[in-house]
Amino acid sequence: MDAVPISWYLILSAFMFAMGVTGVVIKRNPIVIFMCIELMLNAANLAFLAFARQQAQLGAQVAGQVFVILVMAVAAAEVAIGLGIIVAIYRLRDTINVDEMNLLKF
């Protein structure tokens, strides 16, 4: 059931990635910035799966899906650490505005 050409998936993936980049640039809330990073990772996952469908060999087709699972593991680790950092900063400074986080040590 190849309903639509592969390029449609890639255009959608490009759009999701661009929205993620936009959010990282304009948002001040680090939690929302993390959500935008998740958006970018998911855009990459969609591109992985779309490109995997273009491969002829079975091994290469499954490799795209294996990579998506590895990316999900990395994303889970990243969220756990990132939100831990946010909570630690909030405890220290009572604010999490990224514009005020301009010191490495305080």
- Nearest approach in angstroms of CB 36 to another protein is 7
- Nearest approach in angstroms of CB 98 to another protein is 9
* Nearest CB to another protein, comparing residues 3 and 103: 3
Which residues neighbour 31 within 8 Å (Cβ) at sequence distance 6 or greater?
83, 86, 96
Which residues neighbour 83 within 8 Å (Cβ) at sequence distance 6 or greater?
31, 34
- Nearest approach in angstroms of CB 100 to another protein is 10
* Nearest CB to another protein, comparing residues 45 and 103: 45
Choose among 28, 39, 47: nearest CA to 86. Answer: 28
* Nearest CB to another protein, comparing residues 20 and 102: 20
